[in-house]
Amino acid sequence: MQWELNTDKPVYLQLVEQIQAGIISGIYKAGDKLPSVRELATEATVSPNTMQRAMTELERHGLVYANRTSGRFITSDENLIKKLKKQHITEITRDYLDRMELLGLQLDETISFITEVSESNNNKNSV
């Protein structure tokens, strides 16, 4: 997994968001065993304490669970993952629509623009 961290917000929250993105995009599948906290921390170049804090937050949300003898696993609750994905998509869409509104676009203009870009992208990919 590619880790992208910045100074905009606490590192552990960025880790939570990136692991959530990995879950909803299918990088981590329902029921998958996660690498150890130490392995993930090394991979993300953060302290094990920071990664542990992120894991604790993910457990609190029910996305990850710990098995004392086997490590941590992604939830097997497909509905929870679908719900998280829908929430994430809704947030991104609302943010996009808010930005388009700030640029002075009405909803119908935004939809028209999305259609135009999508068609252009489809034509580019089919060549």
CA–CA separation, 84 and 90 (whole Å): 10
pLDDT tens figures, 15-46 = 999 999 999 999 999 999 999 999 999 999 99
CA distances from 77 to 27, 90, 95 (A): 16, 20, 28
pLDDT tens figures, 51-83 = 999 999 999 999 999 988 899 999 999 999 999
Residue 1 pLDDT exceeds 80: no
Mean pLDDT of 86-93: 95
Of the candidates 40, 45, 78, which has an alpha carbon nearest to the alpha carbon of residue 56?
40
Instruction: Report the pLDDT value the prediction gives residue 7, as an integer from 0 to 100.
Output: 86
Instruction: Report the pLDDT value the prediction gives residue 30, as an integer from 0 to 100.
Output: 94
Query: What is the residue extent of each domain of the chain?
Result: 11-76, 80-126
Instruction: Report the pLDDT value the prediction gives residue 126, as an integer from 0 to 100.
Output: 67
* CATH architecture for the domain at 11-76: Orthogonal Bundle (1.10)
pLDDT tens figures, 103-114 = 999 999 999 999
